[in-house]
Structure 1
Amino acid sequence: MKIAVTYQDGDIFQHFGHTEFFKIYDIENTDIVKTEIVSTNGSGHGALAQFLHEHSVDTLICGGIGGGAQLALSQAGIKLYGGVTGKADDAVNDLLNNKLDYDPAVKCAHHEQEHGGAGHTCGAHGCGKHH
């Protein structure tokens, strides 16, 4: 199994579509046998699922993630654990021990929280209209 985590300074980066790095964990049985930090090289929302697929990732742990990215991951056969915060290493260990606290109905949460219901200013990154 290969688990990828959106990654920044040891923590789970909270916006999948803007992540610059993934930490990828190679798992055998329930042990981490190898880790590496890989750059997304500026890949955006649409390309990130393919990027993970090309790295043979089958599981993703992340914070916020939009519906389009969720669909792309699903189509690539990648299992999603979203809405997770904290240290990347802790989250992987929790997942391996069936203790990971995640949100099965995760959304691109920053829309409502930061900008309210009147609209948001995510710009052109594809998760909504610029108001």
Structure 2
Amino acid sequence: MIFPHFGHTEQFKVYDVEDGQIIKETIVNTNGQGHGALATFLQDVKADTLVCGGIGGCAIQALHEMGIELYAGVSGDADEAVAMLIEGTLPQINGQTCHSHNDEHHCGGHHCCH
């Protein structure tokens, strides 16, 4: 299931896709990293696309800087969402979908504003 708040994600399911087919699926633990650090974590596992639930502006900025394409505001089964992504039918929302923060907060070691 897709976790509803990106910054508190404890695990990601990583899909390797070639020629429109999933060739490998792996569950990876984030080891308690949060918000901005998760973007670096995704870069380290060589992710090029993120399908997630709620996400704030700081994380969006970090993902954008790392060249990771974003499909935000998604809920439900991860396998179904990835199948839709591969088919080209997953709606793309690449803006802020998490509004549970105040206007400003700290992510990782830096200060971000929404």
For the criterion TM > 0.5, the same-fold answer is yes
Mapping for residues 107-122 of structure 1, pairs under 5 Å? 107-110=97-100
Unaligned runs of 5+ in 2: none
In the TM superposition, structure 1's runs of 4+ consecutive aligned residues that sit over 6 Å from their partners are none
Q: Deviations over 1:81-118 (max 9, x none)?
A: 0000110000000000011134333321445xxxxxxx
Percent identical: 52
Query: Quick one: which amino acid aligns to residue 22 of structure 1?
Result: F
Query: For the residues of structure 1 that align with 2:94 and 2:61, how far apart are their CA atoms?
Result: 14
Match 2:13 to one of 23, 26, 29: 23
Of the two, which has the highest radius of gyration?
Answer: 1
SS of the counterpart of 2:76?
coil
Q: Counterpart of 2:91? A: 101
| Comparing 100-109 and 76-85, the one that deviates more | 100-109
Contact 2:50 2:70 (8 Å CA) reproduced: yes
For 2:94 and 2:40, locate their aligned partners in 1 and report how far apart those are by CA, in whole Å. Answer: 22
Paired amino acid for 1:41: N
Kindly provide the CA deviation profile for residues 31-52 of structure 1, in whole angstroms up to 9, marking residues without a partner as x. Answer: 0000000000001111100000
- Point out which structure has higher relative CO (alpha carbons under 8 A, 6+ apart): 2
* Residues 78-89 of structure 1 aligned to structure 2 (within 5 Å): 78-89=68-79
Using the alignment, how far apart are the partners of 2:63 and 2:71 within structure 1? 11
CA distance in structure 1 between the partners assigned to 2:45 and 2:94 by the alignment: 24
Q: Tell me how far apart the structure 2 counterparts of residues 61 and 101 of structure 1 sit (CA, whole Å).
A: 10
Aligned residues: 108
TM-score, normalised to structure 1's length?
0.75
Q: Deviations over 1:3-53 (max 9, x none)?
A: xxxxxxxx1001000000000000001000000000000011111000000
Match of 1:75 in 2: 65
